[in-house]
Chain A
């Protein structure tokens, strides 16, 4: 018996309470439902194998409405390897801003709802943790920056406050606080370990240190300017984030992208993936004191960045994409240069993979370290290479492809042990696959324009929304945009893969020894900036 589609089950359950707002888009269905029923809807989606991809709020007072809660579920399409997205909007009254928590069905809601509470003052009933998130304890009371009645440069007076840490007790239990300023050249965050001897009993993360008000900043920019800010959500994923932004804006405003631009976007996305995977595999080896691989792989990474600069004008590919196209084209010489680079890179990389695999002292550190089981990964709704290393297919290039990935047939890499070694192996296989994809893209690259036409203007209808989903090197990026009453930027929601995967790190380190934490952490390499926004 084939299970009925989720929306049918939802319709049977809720009858007239459920409204279809927009069923015209490919792969995306927008519904609305009263906020009181949202946890029931989440339970039904969970039963059908769906995942909570994001949960956020909007302040709709400029439309003459009140607040709203949005939930985005990724739901598998029966008999296919694909997913589709179901978005549900629920009105939330300003005077009584409450909704029932989704944490009973989806662990990922744990932090989404703390963020909603911290930035909108909308609380979820039954949430197990009332502490703010990203909003630090010295923020002024009643200051909810994403509300429309708060301006971006609102005065900010620090207040007294404290943060209740999770504490372990018992004989021999001690605590190690780390950060926010860390030992290496890395982003700031605070980690608090409860340990006995060398064994980690609990790790509690505390983030938010690099919160720069990005979502609020978007609201003061034009649609065209937004791409530049999106490219600075997380510098290592600059292209992927700017791409997710452009896809969302293009879907909202009905902008068509020339085929050549779509293929060049895939080319640049794969180059970003290769550069980051190369650097991180080396850095993981370095954290196990095998500096040789770091030197070799950072050399290869540098060569990729240099070719980026000479062909596209920027080492990290910042600002190479705009709504409606790309801002850098490629000539026949450039194609030739990349094909030669790919041959060289592939040969060099394969030699290093053998060295990684055959080094016993390295294998001793990475095998069985920092395990995330398949069940844990599924329960937390993890994404990206972290999920795939634990055996969960999650590659958006396969499961929710935008052009040209619908024609490219990406081979998704998965492993099953979920340890540091498997996370490295997924990334090794993704470097190989990206090299293959780049060669294919370059041989099939269509002609025609790549830059958007000069007359292109983004003028969306009031209230329209757009969804952009991209598999960056770290995993699934979800960007959602909404136009305001006069077609301006009303609200932008960005869900970096780190926002869910940080939860996975807290679980991965349990029972490991403290000196293995850097190795576990590096094998996740989550973004602080992409998380804190």
Chain B
């Protein structure tokens, strides 16, 4: 137990005020996001992630939104296990033929109003996989999309900015 406490003290607070790879201050984006979340979503914005055919690169960066450097929960944003509780859907990947039905069902299971965010180049435009017998390409080919986040994969900072854009729109 002592070791854990020492390690915690030694590490200190690593959660950042500024984004390392962008000039925009994350707290400006974050505070604006928190305000929107407070105003419109009763202080809690809930995201359900759906991998509709991704290579798992986008999943790694969505995970990173929760690491201590970004800590997106401080803005009232958190991920849920069930689409029934979700305000926002993060959809990654080109939509594979074998995920088409599951994606539609998950979107249907999410109560309206819902915001669908196409995360990454594949979700936004089909990416390297394009359309084929196995892939339906961009998410908007299958379900309506509100916001697209380009990037292969988009960085955690870009994802946080995209959330602000998404909640500001609805």
Task: List the interface of chain A (C-beta within 8 A of B).
Answer: 134, 136, 143, 145, 150, 152-154, 156, 180-181, 183-188, 208-214, 216-217, 228-229, 232-236, 238, 279, 292, 295-296, 298-299, 301-302, 305-306, 309, 315-316, 318, 351-352, 354-355, 358, 527-529, 532
Q: A187-B59, A234-B56 are in contact. Are A298 and B98 (CB under 8 A)?
A: no
Which of B53, B66, B68, B81 has a CB less than 8 Å from the CB of A210? B53
* Residues in A whose Cβ lies below 8 Å from that of B59: 185-187, 235
B54 lies within 8 A of chain A by Cβ: yes
Give the chain A neighbours of B153 by CB distance below 8 A: 235, 316
**A145 nearest CB neighbor, chain B only:** B133
B155 at the A/B interface (Cβ < 8 Å)? Answer: yes
Provide the residues of chain B in CB contact with A299, threshold 8 Å: 11, 14, 67-69
**B130 sits at the interface (CB 8 A):** yes
Query: Within 8 Å of chain A (Cβ to Cβ): is B58?
Result: yes
* Shortest beta-carbon distance from B75 to chain A in Å: 17
From the candidates B60, B68, B97, B132, name the one contacting A152 in the complex (CB within 8 A). Answer: B132
B155 near A187 with CB under 8 A, answer no
Contact, CB under 8 Å: B96 / A181: no
Query: Which 4 pairs of residues, A with B, have the shortest CB-CB distance?
Result: A235-B57, A213-B134, A183-B81, A298-B67
Also in contact, A216 and B134, with CB within 8 A (given A352-B7, A529-B54): yes
Closest CB in chain B relative to A309 CB, distance in Å: 6
Contacts of B3 in A (CB 8 A): 351, 354-355, 358
Q: When chains A and B are docked, how far (Å) is the Cα of A210 from the Cα of B92? A: 11
Size of the B side of the interface (Cβ < 8 Å), in residues, is 52
| Partner of B133 from A152, A233, A309 at Cβ < 8 Å | A152
Residue of A nearest to B62 (CB): A185
Indicate whether A528 sits within 8 Å of B56 (C-beta atoms), given known contacts A213-B132, A295-B68.
yes
Question: Would you call B60 and A235 a contact (CB within 8 A)?
Answer: yes
Provide 21 A-B residue pairs closer than 8 Å at the C-beta atoms, listed in order of the A residue.
A145-B134, A153-B133, A154-B133, A180-B99, A180-B102, A212-B96, A212-B129, A213-B129, A216-B133, A217-B128, A232-B57, A232-B127, A235-B56, A235-B59, A236-B60, A238-B55, A295-B68, A305-B64, A316-B60, A351-B3, A351-B7
Whether B53 pairs with A212 at a CB distance below 8 angstroms is yes
Residues of the B chain whose Cβ atoms lie less than 8 Å from the Cβ of A235? 54-60, 153
**B20 CB within 8 Å of chain A:** yes
Given contacts A180-B102, A181-B102, A235-B153, contact A213 B54 (CB under 8 A): no
Q: Please, which residues of chain A bring their CB within 8 A of the CB of B53?
A: 209-210, 212
* CB atoms of B135 and A188 under 8 A apart: no
Once bound together, how far apart are the Cα atoms of A302 and B65, in whole Å?
A: 10
Give Cα A232 to B121, complex, Å.
12
| List of A residues within 8 angstroms of B81 by Cβ | 183-184
Bound Cα distance A199, B68 (Å): 36
Interface residues of B in 39-65 (CB under 8 A from A): 49-64
> Shortest CB–CB separation between residue B133 and chain A, in angstroms?
5
B30 at the interface (CB under 8 A from A): no
A232 to B55, Cβ gap below 8 A? Answer: yes
Within 8 Å CB of A236, what residues of B?
56-57, 60
Minimum C-beta distance from B11 to chain A (A): 7
Across-interface contacts of A213 in B (CB, < 8 A): 129, 132-135
Q: Is there a chain A Cβ closer than 8 Å to B106's Cβ?
A: yes
